[in-house]
Each structure stands twice: as structure tokens, then as C-alpha cells.
């Protein structure tokens, strides 16, 4: 997959995409990332890339000419990808959106700085606006890096066997179960007995129950959108019973882990 990123901070995108699974995907040629910097298309000695908004106010906007020239240069170099603007006004990113975008052959990610970009450029050039969550960042680069990471690891061949075998949190709509390392020094104290039992069916049941229970406790919004089968409903019911029983004995109250 080819990813073009329009950004005033190409080094940030470059460095973050060199790490871990995505870095490996890049080395294997599964993703190809190119950055386009509006500053390279700014004019004058100062190569300004910000300007004041109509209507006044304290903030600056990204200057429109370098943005337009930068986009035009990418297009002239053959970049025909759909344009995604990382923006606080965008639709919130979900794993479903990540899956849809990861299946495309190319994308152009547009990162804003300052208070953002001219609405006319958004109207004419942008296909989709995406936010990574309800908090305030200082620019779109972290959003682009998040998107690149989530998309990169889904490219065919990016994950090793251990990674792919693992069920992803959110892929099946549930949070992950707790994990415990096989550490000599930490020993087995505090490790749930079932994980030491060697009973693989019981372990799978326990893990599923923990996933269901933690989702119920921490992300009821995720659970509300799922339809559980009989086995899951029964696992969750017994998790709830144990959790409510633990509430009656305050010393044991917790996550039920």
C-alpha cells in the first residue's frame, strides 16, 4: 500500500513509521510512505506557511498557497489517492474504518497545524475527515501516525504468526483478557490457578470470560452493540455473580481478575 503524507513535520512521520511491526512492513515493501512538505512549496525568504484568518481572532491557519502547490506537486507526480484530512472535526476512527482503509491501494493523508486549513480546500480536495479521539492535539501528524500504524499492521504479511494467531481486541468487539509472563523471578504468585492447570479448554473458557467481564465493567458501550451466544451469556452471568459477591466482601472487590 502506498501512503503519501502532506505534513510540515515529515521527520515525525518517518521516524514513527520505522518502529516495530510497521517498520518491518515498510522494510518488506508492504507499505511505501512518502512525505510532502508544504514548506518546500512556500515562497519568499521566510517560506511562510501560516496566515491569519478572515474574521479575526488570535489563531493562525495554514497558508493556502503552499498547501495547494504541495498537493498539485503530489498529483503531478502521479498521486491519485483519496485524500484523508486528519481533523478534530472528523469522524472518530474505529477498527472498522481502519479495515476499510487498509484494503485500499493508496491514501493521501493531510495533516493540519495551527488552527487548521481553509474550508474551501477541504471542500475541494478532501474525501474524508478523521479524528483519532475526543481530545485536543496540536496537529494532524499524531493522527496520521496512528492511522499508518493501524493500517500498516493489517497489510498481508506484516504480522508474524504469533501476532496473527492472537485474537485482537476490537476485532471481535471485546477487550483482551489479562496476561501473565512466565517469569522465574516473579514466580506464580498472583497468577490465576487455571492458567497453571494445563487444561486448555478451561483456560480458553477463562480467557473468554475475562474478556466478556472486563468489557462489561470497562466498556459497556462495546458490549451493548454485540449479540452474545448462549455460551458467552452464561460465562458473563457467572462473572457478574462473582463480581457482585466480591462487592459484598470489600477486601476482595476489584476487577474480578
Residues that bind ligand 9D3 (CB under 6 A): 86-88, 112, 115-116, 131-133, 135-140, 143
Q: Which is nearer to ligand 9D3, 58 or 190 (CB)?
A: 58
Q: Output the smallest distance, CB 224 to ligand 9D3, in A.
A: 24
Q: Which of 91, 115, 119, 171 is catalytic?
A: 115
CB of 18 to ligand 9D3, least distance (A): 21
115 is catalytic: yes
Which residue among 88, 129, 178, 205 is the active-site one?
A: 88
Nearest distance, CB of residue 91 and ligand 9D3, angstroms: 11
- Of 150 and 158, the one with the shorter C-beta distance to ligand 9D3 is 150
Is the Cβ of residue 38 or residue 139 nearer to ligand 9D3 in the bound state?
139
- The closest of 88, 72, 48 to 125, measured between CA atoms, is 72
How near is the Cβ of 61 to ligand 9D3 at its closest, in Å? 10
Residue of 128, 168, 232, 242 with catalytic role: 168
The residues with which 50 forms a beta bridge, in sequence order, are 62
Q: Which residue is nearest to ligand 9D3 (CB)?
A: 143
| CB closer to ligand 9D3, 94 vs 160 | 94
Q: Is 91 in the active site?
A: no
Torsion 228-232-234-237 (CA) sign = negative
Query: Listing from the earlier edge strand, what are the strands of the sheet with 32-36?
Result: 32-36, 2-6, 106-111, 83-92, 128-131
Calpha distance 220→214 (Å, rounded): 9
Enumerate the β-bridge partners of residue 109.
5, 84
Task: Tell me whether residue 131 or residue 209 sits nearer to ligand 9D3 (CB atom).
Answer: 131
Q: Report how far residue 46's alpha carbon sits from residue 50's, in angstroms, rounded to the nearest whole number.
A: 11
For the chain, helix, strand, coil in percent to 5 are: 45, 15, 40
Q: Concatenated DSSP letters for 89-119? A: EEEEP-HHHHHHHHTSSEEEEEE--TT---H
Minimum separation from the CB atom of position 57 to ligand 9D3 (A): 8
Q: Is 125 a catalytic residue?
A: no
**CB neighbours of residue 149 within 10 Å:** 18
The residues that are catalytic are 88, 115, 153, 168
Amino acid at each position: 500500500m502506498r501512503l503519501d503524507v502532506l505534513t510540515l513535520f515529515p521527520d515525525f512521520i518517518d521516524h514513527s513509521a520505522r518502529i516495530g511491526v510497521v517498520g518491518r512492513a515498510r522494510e518488506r515493501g508492504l507499505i511505501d510512505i512518502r512525505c510532502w512538505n508544504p514548506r518546500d512549496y512556500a515562497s519568499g525568504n521566510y517560506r511562510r506557511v501560516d496566515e491569519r484568518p478572515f474574521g479575526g481572532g488570535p489563531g493562525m491557519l495554514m497558508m493556502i498557497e503552499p498547501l495547494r502547490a504541495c498537493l498539485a506537486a503530489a498529483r503531478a507526480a502521479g498521486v491519485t489517492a483519496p485524500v484523508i484530512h486528519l481533523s478534530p472535526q472528523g469522524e472518530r476512527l474505529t477498527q472498522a474504518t481502519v479495515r476499510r482503509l487498509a484494503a485500499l491501494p493508496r491514501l493521501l493523508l493531510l495533516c493540519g497545524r495551527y488552527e487548521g486549513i481553509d474550508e474551501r480546500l477541504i471542500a475541494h480536495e478532501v474525501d474524508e475527515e478523521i479524528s483519532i479521539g475526543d481530545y485536543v492535539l496540536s496537529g494532524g501528524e499524531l493522527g496520521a501516525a496512528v492511522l499508518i500504524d493501524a493500517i500498516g499492521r493489517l497489510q498481508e504479511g506484516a504480522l508474524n504468526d504469533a501476532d496473527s494467531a492472537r485474537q485482537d481486541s476490537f476485532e471481535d468487539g471485546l477487550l483482551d483478557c489479562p496476561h501473565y509472563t512466565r517469569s522465574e523471578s516473579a514466580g506464580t504468585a498472583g497468577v490465576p490457578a487455571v492458567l497453571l492447570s494445563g487444561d486448555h479448554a478451561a483456560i480458553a473458557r477463562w480467557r473468554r470470560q475475562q474478556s466478556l467481564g472486563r468489557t462489561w465493567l470497562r466498556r459497556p458501550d462495546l458490549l451493548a452493540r454485540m449479540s452474545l451466544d448462549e455460551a458467552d451469556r452464561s460465562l458473563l452471568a457467572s462473572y457478574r455473580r462473582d463480581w457482585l459477591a466480591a462487592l459484598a466482601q470489600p477486601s476482595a472487590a476489584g476487577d474480578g481478575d
